[in-house]
Structure 1
Amino acid sequence: MTNPGKTNAPFGRTLCAMITPFTESGALDLDGAGRLADRLVTDGCDGLVLNGTTGESPTTTDTEKAELVRAVRTAVGERASIVAGVGTFDTRHTVELTLAAEKAGADGVLVVTPYYSRPPQDAVEAHFRTVADASGLPVMLYDIPGRTGTRIEPETMIRLAEHPRIMAVKDCSYDFLGTQKVLARTELGYYAGCDEHILALYAVGAAGCVSTVANVVPRHVAEILEAFEAGDTARAARLQQRVTPLIEEMTAAGLPGTVTAKALLNALGRPAGPVRAPLRPAGREAADGLRAVYQEFMAV
């Protein structure tokens, strides 16, 4: 699925980094995943990223990852693109997950920089090229050095953009200058991976966002980009500012976005369930704070 308003938006504009619902016993909740995905798409998301960090990919099995893609594909049909997270610190395993995602019905794959081993840039580049060569799926690179310990340097990104299947980037680099350098020199579709950067990155030519906050306010996130696309930049700014307290509470207040998103979704009676260890659910004080900020947001 592409966004007609952008020529470099291979997976749409408003993508949600969807949580992975579990049952109270901790099993994969495929029915809940389908219902949540359907709601997100109905409420404004034209793309879903599954099996990412927010989707607790470190603690789901390869089989569960493929089952989730199939269930969500069935639930949303062709109404939204599905990008499957397949990144690991092992090139061989990443290729295996890529092939499984393709077979399960994904439209593309999200590939994070290999973490922990901190490979040099030539090895990072070779890793991404090997994964991109392994299937027919388009690739979204995931640049998040704060978690992986390794940046995809702008010059590496520019070289990778020459690969016909490397088409997009989820940008959590916090390097606005470096991002603009790549935007100016490539046709890569950039997606803001940090909710506080949704409007700012879109304003300099990005394709859209991969949003954690969209798990709970998908329509509002979509409206930020829709307002800017329509030329109403003042309204877009107001919408971004309005959601800022919720972004801060969900992504910058000390708890992982998975934990905060699930706490709010559970409070709203939507599919979510528990998190898997080593994550722990939000405590009473944090959960109450999240609900208070959400209620204040909804009251405006």
Structure 2
Amino acid sequence: MTEYRTEHLQPDTKGLARAAELLRSGALVALPTETVYGLGGDATDDTAVARIFEAKGRPSFNPLIIHLSDAAKAERYVEMDEDARRLADAFWPGALTLVLPLKPDAGIAPLVTAGLPTVAVRVPEHPLARDLLRLTGRPVAAPSANPSGRISPTTAQHVLDGLDGRIAAVLDGGPCPVGVESTIVTTQPEPTLLRPGGLPVEAIEACLGAPLAAHGGGINAPGQMTSHYAPEAAIRLEADSARPGESLLGFGHMDCDLNLSPAGDLVEAAANLFSAMRKLDEIGKPIAVAPIPDHGLGRAINDRLRRAAAPKD
């Protein structure tokens, strides 16, 4: 693997111009989104996409999301049906990813789709990400900017902790306000939830006027591996209290080592989740996690916690 002196770029005109220059040259740049930091590479460049998998140590069967600067560009790459357009109109830019049929002439590197006939697309809401995408002028493939399977990064320092020396640069946009990855939905053959995330499922179902079908299994979108988002420490879920030798990650009014949201606010909890897991992981003890309500953003939090707690391969 090529070793880099990873540049820490500031969120100004100079930093944006340098980040865009690097992306157009085939280099990798970590960029902020409203969900987590993404590890960006030119989605039309086979070598750049291969570098993403190499830098992360990501399995090649795990597809990527391509990020676009505006919704109109999606029609260049994917087949949009009526439900997809309705969701795009309602939630883009934002924390929604759509998995749709890839157009034959899209020009997307085959590694992005992991050999599938579909591709995941999103328009991020973060203004710095959209400015960078506009300047780059190309679709940018961007999984979370961390070693594969580990805790997702919500600050530029988190990116550097995991990928310093493996990527060309990180564009510092401050902490990510949502804090968990995007919700992933496909509309074909029917609207189906592939991964809960930063957009509550209830909002999507209200927009469509019908419940989403459940995913039937297999990997056809990012973030579906059983063990994912994992710290080094073991995790125990649905814990009312810590056992001897454990740290307790709390929610709501309770005694604990670190609290996702003392007020029981799921939005605050989602924003704090990955940073809190990192802080407790540094202590080196197993982590017990208090119960989280399984609605709204709680569904995304619980999804990440279940995958973090799953046995590691």
| Fold conserved between structures, TM > 0.5 | no
Larger helix percent? 1
Report which of the two structures shows the higher radius of gyration computed on alpha carbons.
2
